Chains A and B, each alone.
Chain A
Amino acid sequence: MNKAEVMEKIEQSGIIPVAVVDKAEKAIPLANAMLAGGVDVVEVTFRTEAAPDVIKQMSTSCKKMLVGAGTVISLEQCKKAVECGAQFIVSPGFNKEVVKWCVDNEVPIVPGCVTPTEITEAMEMGLKVVKFFPCNLYGGVTAMKALSGPFPCVRFIPTSGINADTIADFIKSPYVFAAGGSWVCSKNDIANENYEKITALCADAKKRILGFEIGHIGINSTGADDAKNICMDFNKAFDFEYMPGTGSSDFASKGIEVKKRSGRGEHGHIAVTTNSLVVAMAELKKRGVELDESSKVIKNGKLIAVFLKNQIGGFAVHLMAK
């Protein structure tokens, strides 16, 4: 996997679980537990002596898992990690020596940068993704939003203080590349080999990252007058606000879209919203659900919607960012 592919896989995961693994023999059962929960990226921290062996075992035996090394604070550790098969490096701070070595050797590196000065140093080395740590103590989403003002090309991997309840808020933010966290595989759960719990927590995290919900229902009509009449029927019955659209649709509240002509889908369409289109599209692919690439709706250079190739129950279905 090349550098771009590794970064793509991290973005598509949405989460980088941070694992403190105390014993090498736990490497494979842990990786399998996470994979069973739908998480295929892990950062093994160099906070334990077992870390190099854990990385080695995971990267040799669990090919589906993207294994990175975390808490890398010296060039020596960095080289060791790569030698053991780590596919990306995460360091808590910006260590120029480590970053330079990684850049020179085509190894993806995510250094911790929390000030404009540190972000500038990372940009000078050609990096576009940095770790924001400790996120909760250095201002959280608000701070990253502020920093993305002067650095619109930089995206963050926030770590610390993120949990099941807050991950959706992070993933929704466009300047968040992926979220780091250890709640899905806590030190205790790994130490006590609670693999079923780890699988369940990974699956739960993935669900929350995806955050699939019904966004709206699309009704096909025969023309502009028909569309207005349909909207007014909803208004009469339920007081749903009639919102005439300038484009191809009118709306009866945000939840009902009425096409001014016959649209996609035998019966109409359903929009499913998600916290991250990137994560959702990758996940659907994994689940064998095909997308209609030609249906992508791009606004201001940003993808905002895409249809599934096949209808479900006579309805066309499209994904939409929240």
Chain B
Amino acid sequence: MNKIEIYTKILECGIMPTTFVYDIAETCKLAQTLYDGGIHIIELLQRTPQAREALSAVKKAVPEMIVGAGTVLTVKTAEEAVQCGTDYVVSPFYDQNIVDWCCDHNVAVVPGCATITEVSRGYNSGLRCFKYFPVKQLGGAEVIRQISEIYNDARYVVTGGITFDDLTEYAQSKYVGAIGSVCMMPQELINAHQWTQITQLTKKAVAASLGFELAYVKADVDTTAAGLLSMICDFSLVRSKIPDVPAKVKGNAEGYIAGIYTNSIVRALAYFRRHGIVGKVLTNEKDGTPVVAEIEIPAWGKLQLIARHYIYRT
């Protein structure tokens, strides 16, 4: 996979969990568990002796998984990680040497940035994806929005103590490419090999990242369709009032069974694609961000997907 594809995969997943590697077999199992729950990325922190070897082991055990090397502090570590097959490199700080090496070798790199100056250095090196750490202490979603007024085509992997309670806030931000969080895999569950529980939490995190919500539904939609909708999108259609079609998509809502809000069209289309449902983007914002899309469910009909930030400022 080339680096453009890797960056795309990161944005499509929207969640980028990191883990310490203490036992390679356990890490492989963890990767499989995350994969089964809908997260197809794992970043292995290069802080333990086994971490480097784990890169190739996880890739072998779960071939579809995007495996990254985290806490890369030197060019040497980056080089070694790439030799072990890492898909991307993450550094906690902005280091021009690591960035330059990765750019020269066509390796996807997500450097840690904490100020506009650091983002600008990465941007001028051609990067468009940055880690913003620690996001909660350095301005939260609002700072990402403000930086994006300057660099509107960059996206951020926000990290630093993000819990389930914070997921929605960051997932709704147009400029947050992915959330670096370990909320779906607390260390005690990993230690106790509670894989079923981790799968459940993973699904919960994925749902929060997608943020599906019913925007509108055609009044005559039958109960089978309603049931299907609820299965796909994990929401209940039992509502006392059917929501109105949002004014911004009103003219284009003809022919759809329902409209669904999502935090990100990119994430939503990737999610449906994994479930064998194809779709396409219909409207992009000026800066190229997709905001309206449609998916077609065979033998049933078309659904409209609407980016939440397109309707509400988030």
Contacts and interface: CB of A to CB of B under 8 A. Distances in A.
Interface of A: 47, 71, 73-74, 92-95, 111-115, 118, 133-134, 137-138, 160
Given A47-B149, A73-B150, A118-B115, A92 B139 contact: no
A73 B150 CA distance: 8
Interface residues of B, number: 18
Nearest to B143: A137
Contacts of B151: 73
Given A71-B150, A112-B115, A138-B143, 14 more contacts: A47-B150, A73-B150, A73-B151, A74-B124, A92-B116, A93-B116, A93-B118, A93-B119, A95-B117, A112-B117, A113-B117, A114-B115, A134-B143, A137-B143
Interface string B122-148: 011000000000000011101100100
- Dominant secondary structure at the A interface: loop
Contact of A137 (B117, B123, B146, B150): B146
Contact of A93 (B115, B138, B142, B149): B115
B139 A134 contact: yes
Given A47-B149, A73-B150, A114-B115, A138 B120 contact: no
A125 to B, nearest CB: 13
B67 to A, nearest CB: 32
A94 B118 CA distance: 8
19 contacts: A47-B149, A71-B150, A73-B120, A73-B150, A73-B151, A92-B116, A93-B115, A93-B116, A93-B119, A111-B117, A112-B115, A114-B115, A115-B114, A118-B115, A137-B139, A137-B140, A137-B143, A138-B138, A160-B146
B94 to A, nearest CB: 11
Contacts of B117: 93-95, 111-115, 118
Contacts of B140: 137
B149 to A, nearest CB: 7
Nearest to B123: A73
B116 A112 contact: yes
B156 to A, nearest CB: 14
B120 A93 contact: yes
A114 B124 CA distance: 19
A93 B118 CA distance: 8
Contacts of A112: 115-117
Contact of A138 (B118, B119, B124, B139): B139
A160 B119 CA distance: 18
A87 B124 CA distance: 25
Contacts of B119: 93
Contacts of B124: 74, 95
Nearest to A47: B149
A18 to B, nearest CB: 11
Contact of A115 (B115, B123, B150): B115
A81 to B, nearest CB: 15
B116 A133 contact: yes
A92 B150 contact: yes
B120 A92 contact: yes
B120 A137 contact: no
A113 B118 CA distance: 10
Contacts of B138: 137-138
**10 nearest A-B residue pairs (beta carbon):** A137-B139, A93-B117, A93-B116, A93-B120, A94-B117, A137-B143, A92-B116, A134-B146, A114-B115, A92-B150
Contacts of A137: 138-140, 142-143, 146
A137 B140 CA distance: 8
A153 B228 CA distance: 66
A74 B140 CA distance: 26
Contacts of B150: 47, 71, 73, 92
A74 B143 CA distance: 21
Contacts of A114: 115-117
A265 B124 CA distance: 62
Nearest to B149: A47
Give the one of B118, B120, B124, B149 with max A CB within 10 A: B120
A141 B158 CA distance: 26
B149 A95 contact: no
Interface in B102-120: 114-120
Contacts of B116: 92-93, 112, 114, 133
Contacts of A94: 117, 120
Contacts of B115: 93, 112, 114-115, 118
Interface string B182-202: 000000000000000000000
A118 B62 CA distance: 43
Contacts of A73: 120, 123, 150-151
A70 B109 CA distance: 30
Nearest to B150: A92
A93 B117 CA distance: 4
Contacts of A134: 139, 142-143, 146
Contacts of A113: 117
A93 B120 CA distance: 7
Interface in B132-176: 138-140, 142-143, 146, 149-151
Interface in B70-126: 114-120, 123-124
Contacts of A74: 124
Interface string B240-268: 00000000000000000000000000000
A133 to B, nearest CB: 7
